Amino acid sequence: MRAGPYALHRFFFPMEFALDKSIEILERTPVVLSTLLAGLSADWTMQNEGGETWSAFDVIGHLIHGEQTDWVPRMKHILELGTSEPFAPFNRFAQFEASKGKSLDQLLEDFTRLRNENLRILEQTRLDEDALCKQGIHPALGIVTLKQLLSCWTVHDLSHIAQISRVMAKQYAGEVGPWKAYLSVIGGR
């Protein structure tokens, strides 16, 4: 039996944190989201999964709020205050008020601008291993390191990209017929 092109990639090897690897994702997120969402109709971007779930529009507002109050402010908090006082709590629902009256394209532009500013700050901070191991206090999780915060920022982006894709895919869940069985994003296997 011949080995296929993916034979060497059958095993899961989690990566250790590396700032340059995180930046690879963080700098691409605005481009990915703008490419996916800019100019789409509200049928794709304003629908959610029912109940108190979020639409693509809501997620972009949430990402903006994170750029303003979470990642870089908490990085600075860790570097300047350490564990002397906990982070300010993060309001996971602030986007509902802050996004009122704005278009999705406007939110995408705001997110791109804020992310670019935060990446400049991150790169100018010149973090070494000692800095990455510094600790802060999360109001709900307790002691966290800067390395964990920056890892979380990266995974948070990927999580919300997946969420947006899932929410959008579910808009056609009733239209795919028997193929639903093959589409895990809408409940298949």
pLDDT tens profile 66-103: 999 999 999 999 999 999 999 999 999 999 999 999 99
What pLDDT score does 7 carry?
55
- Evaluate if residue 12 carries a pLDDT over 90: no
- Exposed, middle or buried: residue 81 (CB in 10 Å: 0-12, 13-18, 19+)? middle
Strands 142-145, 135-138: pairing is antiparallel
- Evaluate if residue 37 carries a pLDDT over 50: yes
Domain 16-38+54-171 in CATH 1.20.120.450: yes
- Evaluate if residue 4 carries a pLDDT over 70: no
* Long-range contact pairs involving 168-172 (C-beta distance under 8 Å, separation at least 24): 168/44, 168/45, 168/47, 168/56, 170/49, 171/43, 171/44, 171/47
Specify which residues 145 forms β-bridges with.
Answer: 135
- Mean pLDDT for 12-30 is 94
* Band of pLDDT at residue 53, cut at 50, 70 and 90: very high
Delimit the domains of the chain by residue range. Answer: 16-38+54-171
- Evaluate if residue 178 carries a pLDDT over 70: yes
* Backbone torsions φ then ψ of 10, nearest 5 degrees: -85, -15
DSSP characters for 114-128?
Answer: HHHHHHHHHHHH---
